[in-house]
Amino acid sequence: MDLKVSVEGVIREVSGVTESTTCEEIIIKLAQAANLPGFYTLVAVYRGREDTLSADEKMVDFFRNLHEKPSNVQFILRRLEAPSPRPTQSQIQAKKHPSVPTQRSQSRLPANLPYRDTGSGAFHGPFSPPPTWNSAREQSTPAQKRPSLRRSATFEAKQVAQDARTPNSSQAAFDSDEYEQLKDQLAYQEQEVELNRIRLLRLDKEIAELEHANRLAAINDASLPVGPAAELAQLAATPWSQLLDANRARQRDLLKEHERYKLALERINTELEKTR
């Protein structure tokens, strides 16, 4: 599976994400490739709302619980603390002694292949944490200590704070969408009720016509000339058994269909009562 993550406004693609790949491993991979110091979190944006993923959350499980395709979810690598407005003494020394340029990865980051850097530290294995954070930059600037990216209580606390700062408008938009979906579902069920009523009326009409036809047939039989020859001719010419079987089969089918639509109508009425 491939993921597209916005890193400081640049879209980077991480490929080879498996069922065991966690959010922390994605963050380490992206931060290593872009030489980003500090603490970061991965934010998922979908349906007008934002969710901050926990460090040990697996990406495949996240999509299964979300019931969304990866292409419908936008991921953002967000820094948790702001950089210092004033350069420190170690940063001034680092500017006097520029670091050895490292080889940046391309926009597509294969998660299932080892990441190799030009410095002494190497990224071994798919998403295994490196022995040090950004080894090449640490060796070139010994006075500037880079914090390692790790799971800690601070990471979880800042994640909770990030969730608390989510705008109320996102929740309101989600509630509005859910309300519209319920309205559409209610309208659809009302249409189904109306169609079932029409079908029931049609079946009742057909049953009444069959009963009327049977009564007329009985009356006509009574009005025929009485006589042995006429009766024998009439009985010989009319397939009574076939007509009777056909009418009985038709009536049974109509009654079954009537019962089926009646049960469907009762079920839909029950659902409408629960929805209202």
Query: Residue range 252-256: average pLDDT?
Result: 87
Please tell me the predicted confidence (pLDDT) of residue 223: 59
Query: Residue range 123-145: average pLDDT?
Result: 41
Rounded Cα gap, residues 114 and 125, in angstroms: 5
Provide, rounded to the nearest whole percent, the portion of the chain with pLDDT above 90: 3
User: pLDDT tens, 61-74?
Assistant: 888 888 878 888 88
* pLDDT, mean over the chain: 71
186: alpha, beta or left, given left = phi > 0 and alpha = psi -120 to 50?
Answer: alpha
Rounded Cα gap, residues 247 and 253, in angstroms: 10
**Residues with Cβ within 8 Å of residue 97, at least 6 apart in sequence:** 140, 141
User: pLDDT tens, 196-249?
Assistant: 888 888 888 888 888 888 888 777 666 555 567 767 777 777 777 788 888 888
Burial degree of 97 (CB within 10 A; 0-12, 13-18, 19+) = exposed
Q: What are phi and psi of 33, to 5 degrees?
A: -70, -35
Cβ-based neighbour number of residue 89 at 10 Å:
9
Stated pTM of the model = 0.32
Rounded Cα gap, residues 276 and 176, in angstroms: 17
Cβ-based neighbour number of residue 111 at 10 Å:
20
pLDDT tops 50 at residue 101: no
Class of the CATH-defined domain 3-166: alpha beta
Please tell me the predicted confidence (pLDDT) of residue 81: 64
Burial degree of 139 (CB within 10 A; 0-12, 13-18, 19+) = middle
Provide, rounded to the nearest whole percent, the portion of the chain with pLDDT above 70: 63
Q: How many residues does the chain have?
A: 276
Segments making up each domain of the chain, as ranges: 3-166, 175-275
